[in-house]
């Protein structure tokens, strides 16, 4: 049977080189590669683009070194919002040469003055969206679950921010890690498939040990068969992007079963197998009870 388009976000093979990612993903039968800028060597972009093309891969969701106007725990430096926006805009121009599906952006953490920080984030993302429009790039705004710390932590807040930014070239990156347990998740998936730039997938383990303890699809407790069936029924035909953070000690927890210990090729093979197995089990969730009038 035909399966949806599958890519891997290169942070999923955190310590592999760009070259290892390209070769390994292609051998594993992956169709797309989601680039993280920290893996790209300076001055080598033409060679990197050529390598991706020769491997038959599509560049999907790209992540800048500084993806948000305001610092957050993972992207803390530089601290100055103006410097951050400048780096973000430079990354968008750089990624444009790779002809990606889109570039990921975040708002950043709320800080002590949420209203002022939201204003700074909206202004910075508006500048980024203008640069993206000039170079023909779509931006994907990803927001994080409340426990991760973000200026927008629900789909509704995400859409409100996009409306305030006023950019027609901005969509939503829907990461299952952040929204799988949201009470209105299936309603959002049914009604807003055209707003999604990509669906990032992973799984939430039983006995989750922290934010950097994500599993391959099917190895946790997410309702992924229902999520996939809902998206399929809604007509979503975009990319599914495997994004796994699985600490091997890099972020303070050396999990013995860390997926970051795998080679890019082995991780790719497991990703294909896991995604296909869950896709084959897809089923629509039970209908919602009628709303009381």
Q: What length is written for the chain? A: 293
Q: CA 144, CA 158: separation in Å to the nearest integer?
A: 10
Q: What's the pLDDT score for residue 292?
A: 57
List pLDDT tens digits, range 257-288: 999 999 999 999 999 999 999 999 999 998 76
Give the CA angle between residues 49, 50, 56 to the nearest 5°: 95
Q: CA 34, CA 60: separation in Å to the nearest integer?
A: 5
Closest Cα to residue 137, out of 35, 248, 226, 222?
Answer: 35
Q: What's the pLDDT score for residue 149?
A: 83
Report how far Cα 5 is from the mean position of its chain's Cα atoms: 15
Closest Cα to residue 32, out of 201, 260, 230?
Answer: 201
Give the CA angle between residues 204, 208, 210 to the nearest 5°: 105
Q: CA 152, CA 112: separation in Å to the nearest integer?
A: 15
Report how far Cα 52 is from the mean position of its chain's Cα atoms: 19
**Residues 247, 249, 253, 254: is their CA dihedral positive or negative?**
positive
* 238, 252 contact by CB (below 8 A): no
CATH of 6-280, one of 3.20.20.150, 3.40.1360.10, 3.20.20.80, 2.60.40.10: 3.20.20.150
Q: What's the pLDDT score for residue 279?
A: 98
List pLDDT tens digits, range 158-186: 999 999 999 999 999 999 999 999 999 99
Helices 224-234 and 264-280 cross at an angle (nearest 10°) of 70
Beta strand extents in the chain (DSSP E only): 6-9, 32-34, 58-59, 61-62, 102-105, 139-141, 170-175, 196-201, 240-242
Question: What is the domain partition of the chain in residue ranges?
Answer: 6-280
Q: What's the pLDDT score for residue 192?
A: 97
Q: Which residues of the chain have pLDDT under 70?
A: 1, 288-293
Q: What's the pLDDT score for residue 290?
A: 59
Q: CA 14, CA 138: separation in Å to the nearest integer?
A: 25
252 dihedral zone (left: phi>0; alpha: psi -120 to 50; beta): left
């Amino acid at each position: 049977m035909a399966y949806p388009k599958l890519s891997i976000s290169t942070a999923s093979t955190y310590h592999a080189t760009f070259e290892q990612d390209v070769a390994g993903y292609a051998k594993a039968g992956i169709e797309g590669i989601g680039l993280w800028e920290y893996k790209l060597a300076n001055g080598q972009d033409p060679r990197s683009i050529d390598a991706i093309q020769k491997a038959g891969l599509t560049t999907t969701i790209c992540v800048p070194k500084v993806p948000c106007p305001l610092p957050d725990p993972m992207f803390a430096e530089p601290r100055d919002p103006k410097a951050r926006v400048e780096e973000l805009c430079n990354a968008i121009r750089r990624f444009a040469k790779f002809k990606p599906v889109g570039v990921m952006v975040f708002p950043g953490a709320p800080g002590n003055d949420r209203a002022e920080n939201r204003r700074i984030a909206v202004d910075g993302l508006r500048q980024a969206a203008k640069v993206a429009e000039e170079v023909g790039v779509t931006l994907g705004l990803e927001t994080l679950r409340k426990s991760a710390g973000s200026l927008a932590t629900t789909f509704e807040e995400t859409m409100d921010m996009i409306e305030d930014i006023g950019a027609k070239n901005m969509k939503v990156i829907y990461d299952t890690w952040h929204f799988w347990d949201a009470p209105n998740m299936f309603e959002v998936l049914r009604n807003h498939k055209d707003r999604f730039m990509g669906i990032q997938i992973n799984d939430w383990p039983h006995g989750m040990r922290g934010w950097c303890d994500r599993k391959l699809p099917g190895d946790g407790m997410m309702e992924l068969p229902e999520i996939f069936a809902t998206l399929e029924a809604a007509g979503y035909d975009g990319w599914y992007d495997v994004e796994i953070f699985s600490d091997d000690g890099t972020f303070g927890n050396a999990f013995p079963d860390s997926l970051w210990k795998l080679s890019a090729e082995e991780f790719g093979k497991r990703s294909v197998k896991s995604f296909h197995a869950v896709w084959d089990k897809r089923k629509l969730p039970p209908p919602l009870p009628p709303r009381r009038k």
